[in-house]
A = this chain, B = another copy of it.
Amino acid sequence: MAETLTGEAILAATEEVLRRYGPAKATVVDVAKALGVSHGSVYRHFPTKAALREAVTRRWLDAIHTEMEPRFDQGLTAAETLRDWLQRLFDRKRHSHVDEPELFATFQVLVKESDTIPTYHVGHLVGHVARIISAGVETQEFVTDDVRKTAQAVWDATDMFHHPAHAQEWGDPHIQDAFDAVVSLVIAGLRYNRIPSAAGDA
């Protein structure tokens, strides 16, 4: 019990407990035990267990957001940039699912229960997609009249490669083929896409 208990120390301990026990078994008492304090002290920094879980997950997602920063390498087309980004996202998610199953499961629980964390996460990543599409529109490689809406459509169309509900399918040996086919279709669509305003343009 060296220094005063900090929120950061609690978050680190919670992440550790979560990694060890998973979201179903981890308790606030466990976290306090890991820190050598009473569980009452934890409640001095986080109002509820849910808030604590959210804070840990947000920290974890922020690391992903940073890693997923788009790479606008010279000499790459917007299509190549987008494909690379989607592939990196897919790889990252698969990686999380097998290498940190408990943190992934924590995120899965949050997706089912709350809405604010998933919204935060998706909003951030769709923003990245929008930047890539925007760059493509500027070079006239892509066509769209609403970048944000189109970015959301790209996100939705590739849903099965990043939504945790599909995690169990990511182990399928043909999943990469499915990914390639969907991404090719989506990229082809970006070359000439208009979202219907009222009636379908079909």
Contacts and interface: CB of A to CB of B under 8 A. Distances in A.
Interface of A: 77, 79-80, 83, 149-150, 152-154, 156-160, 163, 165-166, 178, 180-196, 200-202
B182 A196 contact: no
B166 A181 contact: no
Nearest to A112: B168
A195 B202 contact: no
A201 B181 CA distance: 11
A184 B180 contact: no
A156 B182 contact: yes
Contacts of A153: 178, 181-182, 184-185
B191 A184 contact: no
A188 B178 contact: no
Which of A79, A157, A201 has the most chain B CB atoms inside 10 A of its CB? A157
Given A157-B186, A165-B166, A181 B195 contact: yes
Given A80-B200, A160-B156, A193 B188 contact: yes
Contacts of A182: 153, 156-157
A160 B158 CA distance: 9
B178 A184 contact: no
A77 B194 CA distance: 17
Given A153-B181, A184-B189, A184-B194, 15 more contacts: A150-B181, A152-B178, A154-B185, A156-B160, A156-B181, A157-B186, A159-B166, A180-B195, A184-B196, A186-B186, A186-B189, A187-B189, A187-B202, A188-B193, A189-B193
